[in-house]
A and B are shown apart, each in its own frame.
Chain A
Amino acid sequence: MSHPTAPQLLEAVRLFLKEADGALSGRLAFHAKVAANALAIVGRELAQDPDRAEAAALAPYGGASALCERLRSGLLDPEDKALLAAIRTAVLARLAVDNPRYASFSRLQDREIS
C-alpha cells in the first residue's frame, strides 16, 4: 500500500529528527531530543491505549475524576490496600507509555500490594 500508517509517519519524523540532530547544537539540539522523545510517547500511546487501561483499573471507584473527588472529600482511606492496588495498576498503564525505562516502573511492577 502507498498510505503510511500513523506509526509509520511517526517513524519517518523520528528518522528526520535523528538526521537533523547532527546539524543542530545547544538549545535546538536539546529540543530535538525532547521532540524525539515526545514522538516515542505518542507511538506507545497509539499502541497501548492507556486511557482504557486506567479507566478499567479505576472503574470500581467510578473512574479517575470520581476517585479524586472522593479522596478530596475524605471518603477514601489513602492507605486502603484495594485502593492502592487500583492506583498502582492505573499508574503502571500510564508510565508504560510515558517512560517505561524509569526505574520506579519495574520496581512498582515487580512488587504486589497485599
Chain B
Amino acid sequence: MSDGLMIEVASLTKQYAGHTAVSNISFTVGHGEIVGLLGPNGAGKSTTMRILACYLPATSGTVRVAGLDVFKRSDEVRRRIGYMPENNPLHLDLRVGEYLRFRARLKGLNWTRCRRRVDTVMEQCGLTEVSRRIIGQLSKGYRQRVGLADALVHEPELIILDEPTIGLDPNQIRSVRQLIKGLASAHTVLISTHILPEAEMTCNRMVIMYEGKILAAGTPENLERLMSHNSQVIAEIAAPPEELRECWTQMPQIDQFDVSPCEGEYFRCALTPRNGVDLRPSVYELACKHGWPLRELRRSRHSLEDIYVQVTRPGEEEET
C-alpha cells in the first residue's frame, strides 16, 4: 500500500481506433476522499473510469488502485472496487434481493456474509420494501439505488460511480446524493458528472476534464479562489452619485466601476479591482470617513458554473 493513496493515475493515455479519448492525464485520490470527475459529455470521464475498473486496458501510462496495478493485478483490484457503469445496466428479469445476492456471491462473499450484507445494503439504500419486486418493473430511481447497492455489497474500499444521478428527478437526485455523502467516512468515492451543483455539493475535490485532458483540479474552494482574483466587489451606499463616482475615480486600486440607482437613496456600485486586490476594506473605510450609510458589501463569488464555463470553453483552455 503506497502512503494512503487510493488511486494513482500517471500519464494515462487511451486511444481508440482513430481518436484519443484520454491523453496523458495524471491525478491521485487519497483514502476516504470523495472526488468528482467533471466535464462535458465526451471528455473522457467514462473511459478513465472503465480503465480504473479494469474493463478497458490503457494504451500507455500506469494506473494503480490501492497500490496495485489495474492491468497486472486486475483480479485483486476488482475485489476492492465497487463500480456502477453509466446507465446502470441490471438484470431486469431478477428480483431485487435475488439480483443483489447473485452479485454478492459473484463477488466471492460466503453465504452468511452474503445474506447479512445484502440485508444491510438494502436497508442503506432504502430497498427493503421492494426486495421482492422484479427490477424491470421498478422506477428509475429505485433501479439506480439497486445499482448503488450492488456497488456497495462487497464493502469495497473504492466506489466508482459513473453519472449516478443521470435521468433522475430532483427528489431522487437528492436522495442518491445523500446516500453518496453518507459513504464518505468508510469508502473512497470517485463519481463522474457533468452537473456542477452535484459535484459542488458532494465532492471534497474535483478534477475537471475536457477533451481527454485535465484542465483543473482542486477543492471547490480552491478552484473558486483561482478564479476570484479579479472578482467584482458590490457595495450599496446611500450617497450622492457624483461624489461616489468622484471617489472611485480617485482610488488607484479600482480598474472599472459602475454606479446604478437602487431602491431608496442607495446606489449600487460594482467595482472591478486592479491586480486582484480585495477592495472591501477600503470601501468600508471610505464610507465611514464620509459618514455614508453602507447597506451591503460583498465580493461576488464566482460559482463553479463560471469556472466550468471558463475552463471548458473551447479555444480558451486555462492550465493550472
Partners in one complex: no
| Chain A positions near chain B (C-beta within 8 angstroms) | none
| Chain B positions near chain A (C-beta within 8 angstroms) | none
